[in-house]
Structure 1
Amino acid sequence: MRLLHTMLRVSNLDKSIAFYTQILGMKELRRSENAQYRYTLAFIGYGEEQSNTVLELTYNWDTDHYDLGNAYGHIAIEFDDIYQACEDIKAAGGNVSREPGPVKGGTTEIAFVKDPDGYAIELIQKK
């Protein structure tokens, strides 16, 4: 068994794909549309679905806003250099919501960014 994907509902598919591919360096792996039920699915990630966990971005054509609620936490991504990643994200117009540094009460170095819909993404410094 393995974890296949995490699904996020997005309000603007093009803007979300641009964020995850151009700012976080993922690749769009596949896309499918369902005209009858008015939605598009885009699968993105750092590697092919056969051997990697990916994100499924779900765009419901008739919805332009979602309430994120208070149960969602974050997606975590390991980076070789979170300090440089945050500088690159800011330079590309991304939102760094917590600057890089040690986690409270620990030594792991983390940062947080937000995607176009406000989903939190934790950047974790590779050890």
Structure 2
Amino acid sequence: MDGTLDHTMIRVADLEESLDWYGTHLDYEEKDRYEGDGFTIVYMGPEEMHEEGALLELTHNEGGDDLEMGDAWGHIAVRVPEDELQESYDELMEGGVDDYRDPESCGNRYAFVKDPDGHEIEIVKRDYGEKWSIDHTMIRVEDADEALGFWNRKFEYEETGRWESDTFANYFVKPRGASKEAMAVELTYNYDGRTYDLGDAWGHLCVRVDDLHEDWDQLMEREAEDYRDPESCDDLYAFTKDPDGHEIELIERDPDAESLFPF
């Protein structure tokens, strides 16, 4: 199993508005799109993509204007150079992005903005990766031990960082041997025992695999949830779920294919 995080999917109410927002403010370009029956999927990302870099998938469903954000979904984080956090935030403000959490309010360590649908986007300082490339996707979990065990046992991910406070902890996981430019999963665990609502505004994480059927069978041997197997997805992709119900897609990538979609 390759295990690289291929993309993170969010749902949007107005596709053209979202395409314009990400294109204008984060300099993302459209990489590919698929027009389905009642829905459209668009892959976006920086012009220069690292081979292990993650895409952003925007999904728009016809009539899907009323999206429930939920609180189990946290945010995506995008990178800016170490010395450009304030400058980058000011650039977004000048471009008309709403002021949400500026660098000063976050101890000048990071900042946050929101896209047109209210998806939170963290801005983090990194000395690697293209500006605005995706650094990590944060999801909230109800049992940290169970969540860490899931990613380690099912996908062979390893913990690459953690930050613990008096009330919560953040754990970062990636495939073993992943590059710095690869997207991580941030697992946020609050110590107070709260539960979360998944909502429908966030869709899934996607893991790139070497062989869809072989890797799916391996996941089943490791007791992953049999949610949508390859056969039910026309042998093009598959889905499992983590212990908190977050959906995880499995997909093969042919680097020589004309389309990013396995259709």
TM over 0.5: yes
| Residue matched to 1:32 | 163
Partner SS for 1:5: strand
Corresponding letter in the other structure for 1:93? E
How far has the Cα of 1:89 moved from its partner?
Answer: 1.3
SS in 1 for 2:170: strand
- 3-state secondary structure, aligned to 1:66: coil
TM-score (normalizing by structure 1) = 0.87
**1:24-63 CA deviation, whole Å, 9 max, x = no partner?**
121111112101xx00110001225x32210110001113
User: Which one has the bigger strand percentage?
Assistant: 1
Question: Which residue of structure 2 lines up, in the alignment, with residue 44 of structure 1?
Answer: 173
Match of 1:70 among 200, 211, 225: 200
Deviation, structure 1 residue 103: 4.8
Instruction: Give the match's secondary structure for 1:8.
Output: strand
Contact 1:82 1:100 in 2 (8 A): yes
Residue 79 of structure 1 is matched in structure 2 by 209
- Percent identity over the alignment? 32
Q: Following the alignment from structure 1 to structure 2, what is the Cα–Cα distance between the partners of residues 95 and 20?
A: 13
TM (normalized to structure 2)? 0.44
Which of 161, 168, 186 is the aligned partner of 1:56? 186
2:251 counterpart letter in structure 1: I
Looking at structure 2, the residues matched to 19 and 113 of structure 1 have their Cα atoms a distance apart, in angstroms, of: 12
Q: Can you list the C-alpha shifts for 1:79-112, whole angstroms capped at 9, x where unaligned?
A: 00121121111111110201114856xxx71000
How many residue pairs are counted as aligned between the two chains?
A: 121
Point out 4+ residue stretches in structure 1 off by more than 3 angstroms.
101-104
CA distance in 1, matches of 2:238, 2:174: 20
Could you tell me which amino acid in structure 2 is paired with residue 75 of structure 1? Answer: L
1:86–1:96 CA contact under 8 A, matched in 2: no
Answer yes or no: is 1:90 the counterpart of 2:220: yes
Question: Could you tell me whether the CA contact under 8 Å between 1:100 and 1:111 is conserved in 2?
Answer: yes
Q: Which has the larger radius of gyration?
A: 2
Shift of 1:126: 2.8
The separation in 1 between residues aligned to 2:170 and 2:200, in whole angstroms, is: 24
Query: Secondary structure, in 3 states, of the residue corresponding to 1:98?
Result: coil
| Contact 1:44 1:54 (8 Å CA) reproduced | yes
CA distance in 2, matches of 1:15, 1:69: 21
Letter in 1 for 2:150: F
Amino acid at match of 1:31: R
